Amino acid sequence: MKKRNLFLLAVIALVLITSVAFAGGQQEGGAAATDGPKVIGFSQCDSQQAWRWAETESVQNEAKVRGYELKYNDAQAVQANQIAAVRSFIAQGVDGIVLAPQVMTGFGPVLQEAKDAGIPVVLVDRLVAENEDLYFTFIGSDFVWEGERMGEIVAEETGGKARIAELQGTPGADPTIDRKKGFENIINTYPDMNIILSQTGDFNRTKGKEVMEAFLKAEGENIDVVYCHNDDMAIGAIQAIKEYGKVPGKDILVYSIDGIKDAFQAMVDGDLNAVVECTPLLGPQAYDALEAAWRGETLPKWVMSEDGIFLQKDAASVIASRKY
């Protein structure tokens, strides 16, 4: 073979090897495969609740364990901040994004941008109402199940007769929608169980207290039960009930969802009657999912968390083992 042809062959081989290696890098490393540690962007929707602190800690600690570099953003309960954070992660060329969305709608365009950039997005704890192709998987609890279990507990503990005040979570978030739905699925089968008041406390302790104060002012003598979509609001409601001059857990029964340490303490103290768990310890599963995405694997679109049910009588024996 002539020297010129040999040179041409060498150039073609080099181009081929380079492009195969580049394609492999794209698949394995998401957007920006490098030799350094994987870079993950974590967008947390809010940091005003104990449950969210536990989730953030889980995601941060597991990043350290796996040697990832974590970029963290707290959207402070403003969806526009969260969209901007995800956009900035994309611009920085992260290898993966973990997103705990504030609400179900409005994330479509930014998820499409992540997809176009080849960056896998794992949703944690809350789902979005967007095309499933726009995210890799959702890791979180079954909120309808949680609401239904709570409805059964309240029915059991009140003999199927209760005037209920409901403290809802953030409007438009799936735990709010589904915990309400699940609870109503059960109580609507009892003619004497009725929701007489229902308002959002935004999953927040301070707002939960304020809304409970307003409920008590309006109907203080007619509330048998307060059903709270999360523990933080229940802790606020308990405070409001005490300040109103009633005994939480007895005069007004209090029920909530999550299972944070403060809720277990409230059960031990007799202020809270039962908790349905919703685990925030999602860091390890979120990274398992991203690693699967980088390997080019697929996962089910919903990896469901396993949660438990805790009655007041169980709390004392369990509280020491609670991890959040």
Residues lying near ligand AHR in the complex (CB under 6 A) are found at 49, 51-52, 125-126, 175, 203, 230, 257-258, 278
Q: Which is nearer to ligand AHR, 226 or 278 (CB)?
A: 278
Question: 224 is written with which tokens?
Answer: 């048998």
In the complex, minimum distance from the CB of residue 257 to ligand AHR, in angstroms, rounded to a whole number:
6
Q: Which is nearer to ligand AHR, 136 or 203 (CB)?
A: 203
In the complex, minimum distance from the CB of residue 56 to ligand AHR, in angstroms, rounded to a whole number:
12
Contact indicator for 170, 200 with CB cutoff of 8 Å: yes
In the complex, minimum distance from the CB of residue 316 to ligand AHR, in angstroms, rounded to a whole number:
23
- Tokens 């947390």 belong to which residue? 44
Q: Give every CB contact of residue 51 below 8 A, 6+ residues apart in sequence.
A: 203, 230, 231, 232, 258, 260, 278, 280, 324
Ranges of H-type helices in 96-248: 108-116, 143-158, 174-187, 205-219, 231-244
Q: Which is nearer to ligand AHR, 134 or 278 (CB)?
A: 278
Give the CA distances from residue 324 to residues 67, 207, 214, 236, 254, in Å, rounded to whole numbers and listed in that order.
23, 22, 30, 18, 20
In the complex, minimum distance from the CB of residue 110 to ligand AHR, in angstroms, rounded to a whole number:
19
Q: Which is nearer to ligand AHR, 210 or 251 (CB)?
A: 210
Q: Which is nearer to ligand AHR, 33 or 123 (CB)?
A: 123
Question: 131 is written with which tokens?
Answer: 């095309």
In the complex, minimum distance from the CB of residue 55 to ligand AHR, in angstroms, rounded to a whole number:
8
